[in-house]
Amino acid sequence: TQQAAVRSQQLASLGQLASGVAHEIRTPLTSLKLFLESIENEITISPEYEEDFQVAMNQIRRMEATINRFLDFARPREPVYSWLEVGDLLEDALLIIGPRARLQETTIRKSLSPSLPKIKGDRKQLGEALLNLMVNALEAMPQRGRLTVAAHPGELPGTDGSRPCVVIDISDTSPGIQGENIGRLFEPFFTTKATGAGLGLSIVSSTVQRHGGEVMVRSVVGRGTTFSVFIPTEAEPAIGKNGKHTDS
Ligand code: ADP
Ligand code: MG
The per-residue pLDDT for range 170-195, each reduced to its tens digit, is: 999 999 999 899 999 998 889 999 87
Q: Kindly state if the Cβ of 183 falls inside 6 Å of ligand 1.
A: no
Ion ligand 2 residues within 5 Å by Cβ: 136, 200
C-beta of residue 41 within 8 angstroms of C-beta of residue 53: no
- The pLDDT of residue 86: 97
- The pLDDT of residue 27: 87
Q: What interhelical angle do 47-74 and 200-210 show, nearest 10?
A: 40
User: What residues pair up with 150 in beta bridges, in sequence order?
Assistant: 111, 169
Q: Which helix (H) or strand (E) holds 128?
A: helix 123-140
Instruction: Supply the pTM of this predicted model.
Output: 0.74
Is the interface score ipTM higher than 0.95?
A: yes
pLDDT greater than 60 at residue 138: yes
Q: What is the 3-state secondary structure (H, E, C) of 53-102?
A: HHHHHHHHHHHHHHHHHHHHHHCCCCCCCEEECHHHHHHHHHHHHHHHHH
Q: Kindly state if the Cβ of 197 falls inside 6 Å of ligand 1.
A: yes
Nearest to 100 by CA among 135, 147, 148: 135
Closest residue (by CA) to atom 12 of ligand 1? 185
**Which of 169, 187, 191 to mutate for ligand 1's pocket (most ligand atoms within 8 Å of CB)?**
191
How far, in Å, CA of 201 to CA of 205, rounded? 6
What is the rounded average pLDDT of the residues 137-144?
Answer: 93
The CA 240 to ligand 1 mean position distance, Å, reads 28
**Which of 2, 6, 136, 174 to mutate for ligand 1's pocket (most ligand atoms within 8 Å of CB)?**
136
Closest residue (by CA) to atom 8 of ligand 1? 198
Structure confidence by residue, pLDDT tens digits, 14-63? 667 777 888 889 889 988 998 888 888 888 888 898 899 999 999 999 88
- The pLDDT of residue 91: 97
DSSP codes of every residue in 1-53 = ----EEESHHHHHHHHHHHHHHHHHHHHHHHHHHHHHHHHHHSPPPHHHHHHH
